[in-house]
Amino acid sequence: MNLHHLLQARVAAGRPVRVGLIGAGKFGSMFLSQVPTTPGLEVAVIADLDPERARAACRQVGWDEARIARTEFVTSGADACGHDAVEVVVEATGAPAAGIAHARAAISAGKHIVMVNVEADVLAGALLAEEARAKGVVYSMAYGDQPALTAEMVDWGRSCGFQVVAAGKGTKYLPLFHAVTPDDVWTHYGLTPEEARKAGMNAQMFNSFLDGTKSALEMAAISNACDLAVPSDGLLFPPCGVDDLPHVLRPASVGGVLEREGMVETVSSLERDGRPVFRDLRWGVYVVLKAPNDYARACFKQYGLKTDDTGSYAAMYKPYHLIGLELGISVLSAALRGEPTGQTRGFRGDVAAVAKRPLKAGEMLDGEGGYTVWGKLVPAERSLAEGALPIGLAHKVKLLKDVPAGRIVTWADISIPDTEAVRVRRDMERRFAVNETSAAAE
């Protein structure tokens, strides 16, 4: 709670925190909008495939021409990582391979890295974080995004002496969404294709939120940062409002839906028949705690926490997240305190590519939110045992075999490319794979 004070000290010393932003899309633009009202925080360079689009984004969020003129615009993320004026790199491209390359370039250059790119983090975050620690820099989740906000709540609960029974977020979900493609995504958002086009909305990106892939990635990120287990066969997405969190997100042995205590899960804002859930958590995050003793249980009741019928399980939640508008917390925490706002530390959860429809040999996979596959959360141990293809590598790769609808795509089903992302992923698997049974027993 002293970041602003520390930043004021940097202002007084004439040493602003300078950032290199890679990717000036929605998340990056929201961060840029806060820079003019955060004295001591400056963006030295913005890397984007289209620098003119990046300049236009700066104008759209309120930058004046003087600020734009003193900011360097480049096309290469590597240039931003190696820029002499940059102290913290923000990777906001959303492309897994690019994210890995940029993170390693930033770390090699001795820069802190804030990883908005959850796709890259799930693919190889444990290895990237280890490399950052060895170099003496910070590798951090992006505050404002749901994984970092959830990790903060988990850390708070454990630091208070509570057992964390469940943690996660809310979303809009129905089972049929797994098969949705960019062609029909807008009907589920209440938009016409023309309205979405005029708003500059990317159909494949928005579809990744709808078809369950983004939820799987974010829950894997939380699992790997907080040492929480993942469901054995994918997220359940139980319909659940904030008042019912401690009832639903507890073990099945005591009336809930979890396989056991200490898991991640995403709750749906829709009942299975499409009706809205009462007091839903679509935009928020939550943690379910367990009272360690009778005294704490009594305090839960005395101070008005929502509990289950036993009084032992209670929920805390945050109803909203503001993504890029909150990203400055990560940047300043890295630069001023040398601390991440959440960090991948293990490999407990993975996201496997699953066929949306019958796929034929010779077809090209098109990654998250596309026409061919969606991402399913599975334990890392299962992913490795089955040879599952990570969703982050299921883009522009050719199938060698037919894959029926609903089946996990495996490494054996594709022509495996020799890329940095593949090599880093394989290295991460070798170094961080754990036995889920052993981990659960510890």
Which residue type does 393 have?
L
User: Same structural domain for residues 225 and 369?
Assistant: no
User: Same structural domain for residues 292 and 219?
Assistant: yes
> Which tokens hold the place of 343?
């960090």
Task: Give CA–CA dist 213/216, Å, rounded.
Answer: 5
User: Same structural domain for residues 307 and 333?
Assistant: no
- pLDDT value at residue 439: 47
Task: Report the domain count for the chain.
Answer: 3
> In the chain, which stretches have pLDDT less than 70?
434-442
Between CA 91 and CA 150, with CA 266 as vertex, the angle to 5 degrees is 50
Cβ density class 131-156: b for 16+ within 10 Å, e for less: bbeeeebbbbbbbbbbbbbbbbbbbe
- pLDDT value at residue 1: 76
User: Same structural domain for residues 113 and 139?
Assistant: yes
Which class for 436: exposed (0-12), middle (13-18), buried (19 or more C-beta within 10 A)? middle
User: Same structural domain for residues 169 and 271?
Assistant: yes
- pLDDT value at residue 438: 44
What confidence tens digit (pLDDT) does each residue in 18-42 have? 999 999 999 999 999 999 999 999 9
Domain encompassing residue 395? 349-434
Tell me the three state secondary structure of residue 242. helix
User: Same structural domain for residues 268 and 317?
Assistant: yes
440 located within any domain: no
User: Same structural domain for residues 138 and 161?
Assistant: no
> Which tokens hold the place of 402?
């037919």
Average confidence score pLDDT of the chain: 95
CB proximity list for 173: less than 8 A, separation 6 or greater: 212, 215, 237, 266, 268, 269, 270
- pLDDT value at residue 437: 43
CB proximity list for 232: less than 8 A, separation 6 or greater: 259, 378, 379, 382
User: Same structural domain for residues 154 and 138?
Assistant: no
203 located within any domain: no
User: Same structural domain for residues 249 and 331?
Assistant: no
Which class for 430: exposed (0-12), middle (13-18), buried (19 or more C-beta within 10 A)? exposed
User: Same structural domain for residues 159 and 77?
Assistant: no
8 A C-beta contact, residue 164 and residue 262 = yes
409 located within any domain: yes
User: Same structural domain for residues 333 and 365?
Assistant: no
Cβ density class 75-96: b for 16+ within 10 Å, e for less: eebbbbbbbeebbbbbbbbbbb
Task: Give CA–CA dist 355/370, Å, rounded.
Answer: 11
- Give the containing element (helix H, strand E) for 374: strand 373-379
CATH code, domain carrying 85:
3.40.50.720
Task: Give CA–CA dist 178/192, Å, rounded.
Answer: 20
CB proximity list for 77: less than 8 A, separation 6 or greater: 22, 23, 47, 91, 93, 98, 101, 102, 105
Task: Give CA–CA dist 23/50, Å, rounded.
Answer: 9
- pLDDT value at residue 416: 87
User: Same structural domain for residues 239 and 382?
Assistant: no
What confidence tens digit (pLDDT) does each residue in 271-289 have? 999 999 999 999 999 999 9
178 located within any domain: no
236 located within any domain: yes
Domain C-terminal end among 309, 337, 365? 337
- pLDDT value at residue 435: 53
Cα-Cα-Cα-Cα torsion 144, 148, 149, 154, nearest 10 degrees, comes to -170
CATH code, domain carrying 366:
3.90.1210.10
